[in-house]
Structure 1
Amino acid sequence: MANKNTICLWYDGAALEAATFYAATFPDSAVTAVHHAPGDYPSGKQGDILTVEFTVLGIPCLGLNGGPMFSHSEAFSFQVATDNQAETDRLWHTIIDNGGQASACGWCKDKWGLSWQITPRALTAAITHPDKAAARRAFDAMMTMTRIDIALIEAALKG
């Protein structure tokens, strides 16, 4: 691991499965190394997969098979900027349809409980629009959505 800063994500034995899923789902993502425990540890035995090095959208990550003591929460999420509705839908449905769970405003969780914000660039532009009334309309529209619908955001922006 050569990076100065790497995101460490805790899993209950599923780090390789999760990393493999992320590598297959997101561009510029890959599993780069799998490391086995050199000895027994509280949640595993010598030889078990202890850590998995991977990237998600170019971001270096380490999956740690630490056991059931800790779980993911919405306090941490990956925010993925999408360029169009097709990309938004593909990522959203890939996460949801593989054991994930929909939430609000473009948020969802994967089957391991990790939160993702699938955020179209059009949404970000709309809710930061210089016309405050237009931005508010787009924001209010977003607040009614689970998966973001770019056409509805753009319609709200226009009034």
Structure 2
Amino acid sequence: MTAVTPFLWFDNTAEEAITFYTRLIPNSEIVSIAHYAEEQPGFAGKVMHAHFRLAGRDYYAFDAGPQFPFTEAVSLFVSCADQQEVDRYWDALTADGGEEQPCAWLKDRWGLSWQIVPDRLVELIRDPDPDRSHRAVQAMLGMKKIDIAALEAAAAGV
């Protein structure tokens, strides 16, 4: 069976980033890291190839220079069970230079975009009552980090 696996291009911080990600997200691990040889001009000691897992899913990464920085065109989506989980991921990923973005999006300190989305947001957006759904969406549009209690209040018309 063919596998399709995301491969992340870092300037020169792949090992730092994947170490952080695998410590933050449960059921994650670094499988292997290979570094460029010391004789490799401009790349000596940087990550040539790294295989890691986040929440049991495979990813690859390497250090290849600043030519292609991350953009919002690709993001990692994190489904969160409750506000505590939202807060934990949000706070960790925006720390040390990360940036809050609108509507549950953020950029971590390496510039990688993430969506930190509580399951309750998805439920409210899919509410069969179009008025409740609309109010939830409107509330979300005014948020950066999602506040579940505020979403529920908005959906209820409070």
- TM bin, normalised by shorter chain, reads over 0.9
Give the % identical residues. Answer: 38
Contact kept, 8 Å, 1:142 with 1:153, in 2: the verdict is: yes
2:57 is aligned with 1:50: no
Deviation (angstroms), 1:21: 0.5
Structure 1 outlier segments of 4+, above 6 Å: none
Contact kept, 8 Å, 2:127 with 2:133, in 1: the verdict is: yes
- Mark the CA change 1:23 to 1:3 in structure 2 (over 3 Å): closer, same or farther: farther
What number of residue pairs does the alignment pair up? 156
Deviations 1:32-58 (A, max 9, x none): 1001235736x513x542121111222
Deviations 1:65-116 (A, max 9, x none): 1111110000000110101111100100011113211010110011110000
Q: TM-score, normalising length from structure 2?
A: 0.92
2:22 is aligned with 1:12: no
Alpha-carbon distance in structure 2 between the residues aligned to 1:112 and 1:80: 17
Deviation (angstroms), 1:3: 7.5
Alpha-carbon distance in structure 2 between the residues aligned to 1:48 and 1:115: 23
Alpha-carbon distance in structure 2 between the residues aligned to 1:24 and 1:84: 20
Contact kept, 8 Å, 1:35 with 1:50, in 2: the verdict is: yes
2:24 is aligned with 1:28: no
Q: 1:98 is paired with a residue of what secondary structure?
A: helix
Q: For residue 17 of structure 2, what is the amino acid of its counterpart?
A: A
Q: 1:1-159 maps to which residues of 2 (within 5 A)?
A: 4-37=3-36, 40=40, 43-45=42-44, 47-159=45-157
Contact kept, 8 Å, 1:107 with 1:118, in 2: the verdict is: yes
How large is the Cα RMSD of the aligned pairs? 1.7
